[in-house]
A and B are shown apart, each in its own frame.
Chain A
Amino acid sequence: MNQKNNLIIGLIIAGVVVMSVNVDADPRDFVEGLPNIGIMLQEITEVDSSLFVTALWAMLETIEMAFIGTVVGVAIALPLSLLAARNLNRKFVYIPIRALLAATRTFPSILWAILFVIIVGLGPFAGVLAIIMYTVGFIAKLQYEAIEAVDADPMDAVGAIGVSKLQLIRFVVLPESASHLLSQILYIFDYNIRQTSILGLVGAGGIGFYIINYIKFFEYGKAAVFMVVVLVTVLIIDWVSVRIRDKYIIKSQRGMQVKT
């Protein structure tokens, strides 16, 4: 048994080595290339300080794109998630909706961005549309799973009163799954900001547009400035969403743990 395990581990390691040679991933290149970071850091100090202002504006545009994409995406995802939940609908409703959602998720947002650049042209609008598509597929899936996990007891108790399905959704399903939704919105907003930052690589607006152009012209210092702005922004947003999560979600989940 033990020998078999060793053999499997050995095979996996051998696989990594062989494949690395195949794709030309040589750790020596990494070590040799390390001093380049120093050069880049030095270049950052030589960059004109007015570039920071440009970077901040570009970041603001990125955040705006992510915000619009998240809000509109969630607004579309919520009704779809209600239709895709197995405990609320019949087969012929939830199966097509689920298939549609699965299809939107197969593309990463950067591929959606390429598609929308072709449709609506270069610029932030294509990026916003890409973010919407990805958000819809992602949030709707997480949310219909949350809806299906809603406690059967309140559904039974309220259902037995003889209320309409819409009333059941409004008074049981939405309140019982609301904390999940908030947590997912925070997560996807965070994720969308990171995604929007690279959508510029395909010409769909945002800060990535600057980054890719500076890299094309070998101005790594300037590109690095923009990357640092992305890094700091993502850290701030992450910190803020942790605070919101603590305040609104942890509290209600602790309440849920107190079973009667």
Chain B
Amino acid sequence: MSATKPSKVKTLGKAFAIFTKTIVQMNDISASYDSKNYVLKDIRMSVDRGSNYAIVGQSGSGKSTLLRLINGMMNPSKGKIMVDYQTPSTSDKKFKSLMHKIGYIPQNLGLIKNSTVLENILIGALPRVGGFNSFFKRFSDLEIDNAKKILKQVGLEGKAERKVYMLSGGEKRRVAIARALVQKPEIILADEIVSELDHVTAREIMDVLAEAQATMNLTAIMVHHDLQLALEYADRVAVIKEGEKILEIGVEGDKIVDFQSGNYTQREILEMFSGEPEE
């Protein structure tokens, strides 16, 4: 009796998901690493399917933790997260299919430095390859063709056989993006992917992501350091300060709008970030 109940709820949830546009939903999430000090407090957040969502905040504000909660590498101590109507958790085998749908690019990219570009990005295809074939690094022609197509898409054509440690900072970021795209994800999480780059390269990388997002119908959730860059590319920007979401803003027309409370005007918002350059 009780065994049938959750599966029914799940089916209903899935059916409902087709009609809804929300892909990530956080209800009053709190998180901590040591069960004493909260890194995140009562975060409410909802991300629309296919949108570009940015999280901005200073170092230590808890924004990376937010991404780790979404990809299930960390569990919230309070509240509930739903990603595509499931609760993410890497420690739970049932949610592997959900993990396959999330492409995660950590702050230091997490590339295998002694492997080639192609080997690195084929890692994204591993969920679709059997254990035996993957042990001998045997991928189908289809997967290799797809990987090469994505390499071309991110601007790394002809560099498939390069070792990653020989690449420049911008190229390494393109490899990380390619690996996430080979995964055929629905959501891409990127943690400060352009923070250490110069102005021009940062925008090149953001353009690659924006193009991929548009053509592959992805939801992007990206952590940024730079508010201006975030506003330029994202539909919504959540501002995190000391573990709390203080603002959710976006650009409508040529104005910055406060979506969270609607209380702040563009001028007041910009005054809060007086350190940041104005638009």
A171 nearest CB neighbor, chain B only? B123
User: Is there a chain B Cβ closer than 8 Å to A53's Cβ?
Assistant: no
When distances are taken between beta carbons in the complex, the residues of chain A under 8 Å from B105 are 157
Residue-wise interface mask of B (92-113) relative to A, using a CB-CB cutoff of 8 A (1 in contact, 0 not): 0001111110111111111111
A162 touches B99 (CB 8 A): yes
Interface SS, A side: helix
Q: Are B165 and A256 in contact (CB under 8 A)?
A: yes
Verify if A156 is at the interface (C-beta below 8 Å from B).
Answer: yes
Task: Identify the interface centre among B103, B114, B131: most chain A CB within 10 Å of its CB.
Answer: B114
> Which residues of chain B have C-beta atoms less than 8 A from A151's C-beta?
108, 110
Give residues 70-101 of B contacting A (CB, 8 Å). 71-73, 90, 95-100
Partner of B135, one of A153, A157, A166, A178: A166
Verify if A175 is at the interface (C-beta below 8 Å from B). yes
Q: In whole angstroms, what is the CA distance A158 to B106 when docked?
A: 10
Assess whether B127 is in contact with A162, with CB atoms less than 8 Å apart.
yes
Question: Interface centre among A163, A170, A172, A179, by most B CB within 10 Å?
Answer: A163
From B97, B109, B137, A157 is in contact (CB under 8 Å) with B109
Bound complex: CA A3 to CA B227 (Å): 63
Query: Which of A153, A162, A167, A171 is B90 in contact with, Cβ under 8 Å?
Result: A162
- The B interface is mostly helix, strand or loop, or mixed, namely mixed
Distance, CA A164 to CA B123, complexed state (A) = 11
Q: How far is the CA of A160 from the CA of B134 in the complex (A)?
A: 17
Using known A-B contacts A161-B183, A163-B126, A164-B131, determine if residue A171 contacts B119 with beta carbons closer than 8 Å: yes
Q: Is the CB of A171 within 8 A of B131?
A: no
Tell me which residues from 132 to 164 in chain A have a Cβ below 8 Å from any Cβ of chain B. Answer: 151, 153-164
CB atoms of A156 and B106 under 8 A apart:
yes
Q: B115 to chain A: which residues have CB within 8 Å?
A: 171, 175
Report B-chain residues with C-beta under 8 Å of the C-beta of A178. 114
Q: Which residues of A contact B149 (CB under 8 A)?
A: none
CB-defined contacts of B166 to chain A, threshold 8 Å? 255
Q: In the complex, how many residues of chain A place their beta carbon closer than 8 angstroms to a beta carbon of chain B?
A: 27
Q: List, in ascending order, chain B residues with CB within 8 A of A176's CB.
A: 112-114
Q: Is A252 an interface residue (CB 8 A)?
A: yes
Known: A159-B90, A162-B99, A255-B114. A153 touches B126 (CB 8 A): no
CA distance A171 to B122 in the complex (A): 10
Q: Is the CB of B104 within 8 A of A255?
A: no
| A156 and B134 contacting across the interface, CB-CB below 8 Å | no
Residue of A nearest to B72 (CB): A160
Check A6 for interface membership: any CB of B closer than 8 A: no
- Asked whether any CB of chain A lies closer than 8 Å to the CB of B169, the reply is yes
| 4 further interface pairs, Cβ-Cβ under 8 Å (given A157-B104, A157-B105, A157-B111) | A160-B90, A167-B134, A172-B112, A256-B165
Interface residues of A (CB under 8 A from B): 151, 153-164, 166-167, 170-172, 175-176, 178-179, 252, 255-256, 258, 260
> Can you sample 29 A-B contacts with CB below 8 Å?
A151-B110, A153-B106, A153-B108, A154-B112, A156-B73, A156-B106, A157-B105, A157-B106, A158-B110, A160-B102, A161-B104, A161-B126, A161-B127, A162-B99, A162-B127, A166-B135, A167-B126, A171-B112, A171-B115, A175-B115, A175-B119, A176-B114, A178-B114, A252-B113, A252-B114, A255-B114, A255-B163, A255-B165, A255-B166
Q: Which 7 A-B pairs have the closest CB atoms?
A: A157-B110, A255-B165, A162-B99, A153-B110, A160-B104, A154-B110, A162-B96
